[in-house]
Amino acid sequence: MLAHRPIYLDCHATTPLDPLVLEAMLPYFTEQFGNPASAHQYGWEAEAALEQARRSIASAIQAESAEILFTSGATEANNLAIKGVAEAYLAKGRHLITVATEHSAVLDPCRYLQTMGFEVTILPVQPDGLIDLDQLTAALRPDTVLVSVMAANNEMGVIQPLAAIGKICRSADVLLHTDAAQAIGKIPLDVKAMQIDLMSLTAHKLYGPKGIGALYVRRRSPRVQLAAQLHGGAQERGLRAGTLYPPQIVGFAKAVELGLANLETEAARTIALRDQLWQRLQVLDGVHLNGHPSQRLPGNLNVSFEGISGQALLLGLQPVVAVSSGSACSSTRTQPSHVLTALGRAPELAYASIRFGIGRLNTAAELEQVATATLDTVRALRTANLASDLTSAR
């Protein structure tokens, strides 16, 4: 066993379970283990816990409890939202709009729908990662049924202007879906003020358990229709079959409650740590920040380094820090990040990128260690590459 573990800076991939979340979950593994659908005391206890959790999660985004459907995670929620709307609104049209920097859990369902005869417009982003609202407006058509725009990007942390997007979509009578997996509990979310119709959520990016998520579905003004994508039971208003899992759902709600209780202070703390790291890295030449400098998640820093291999940098940093080059769902990819190339980054620069995901447990002392290790590793790799180039030129 290693004498010490690397500093964990991959909080966009996942986060550790908060001890208070585990404490809330434990009774539902052993003492209150009933099936929430059962008509007896054990079932009623589980059902009561689920409904309290539903209220807590709804409150976090200014929704109603009946508008929260539990899923296995944000990927399932995205699929249910996108495919469910597409199937339910066939009479209106077969056109959807999304963004080039979306997670594959949004882009892949859209590509699937294209094979089924739907048309998908994929909007580009500006060099700072934000969409152009005029381009969105121009892309809307009479047969557009859904716009899907991520609240906060999982790689570069950029926060899209959801309120402005919601206003545009509502004026055009088009539904708006947002993947808020990275945003919940980190930035304020208000489905009413932002005029969002569907919102995908997950627990494990917020110190909650893996394997549990939710989909917000607006019930009035307008009432959103969905076609079920998972059949086999009447759970979740018949839109998502399967026995609900009380321990995970209770843990999800507790994680959200804890995140909201400390949202402002934790955001300020992680922004300070992020800025500390970025300031240290800028002593290097050829260092590029990916995404908007301030309109991004508090704990996100995505940086490209000229003249090195990103994989070599990751390997060099492994003894000191656990980070990634992008989405954990694409960690084995052989192509550069589609998010960074959408910003206009050249493939070789997109390959040489690191996503630092700062979290609740990180300290200023740790960030100083990470900065020093990163500077030393980048300099060593550049020196080695220069020596290799000189040898090849002889």
Tell me the per-residue pLDDT of 342-394, one tens digit each, with 9 for 90 and over.
Answer: 999 999 999 999 999 999 999 999 999 999 999 999 999 999 876 565 556 55
Identify which of 85, 190, 100 has the alpha carbon closest to the alpha carbon of residue 139.
Answer: 100
3-class SS of residue 349: helix
Read off the pLDDT of residues 236-266 as tens digits, 9 standing for 90 and up.
888 998 999 999 999 999 999 999 999 999 9
pLDDT the model gives residue 388: 60
Confidence category of residue 139, pLDDT binned at 50, 70, 90? very high
CATH number, span 7-15+263-385? 3.90.1150.10
pLDDT the model gives residue 2: 46
pLDDT the model gives residue 33: 94
Do residues 176 and 128 lie in contact, with contact meaning Cβ atoms separated by under 8 Å? no
Task: Cite the active site residues.
Answer: 329
Q: What is the Cα Rg of the chain in Å?
A: 22
Between 385 and 130, residue with greater pLDDT: 130
Enter the pTM of the model: 0.95
Least-confidence region, from 3-7, 44-48, 202-206, 269-273 = 3-7
Residue 327 has pLDDT above 80, yes or no: no
Least-confidence region, from 121-135, 169-183, 237-251 = 237-251
Helix (H) or strand (E) holding 74: helix 74-88
Do residues 198 and 215 lie in contact, with contact meaning Cβ atoms separated by under 8 Å? yes
Question: Which CATH number is 20-261's, of 1.10.240.10, 3.40.640.10, 3.40.50.720, 2.30.42.10?
Answer: 3.40.640.10
Read off the pLDDT of residues 44-101 as tens digits, 9 standing for 90 and up.
999 999 999 999 999 999 999 999 999 999 999 999 999 999 999 999 999 999 999 9
What helix, strand, coil percent values describe the chain, rounded to 5?
40, 15, 45
Domain ranges of the chain: 7-15+263-385, 20-261
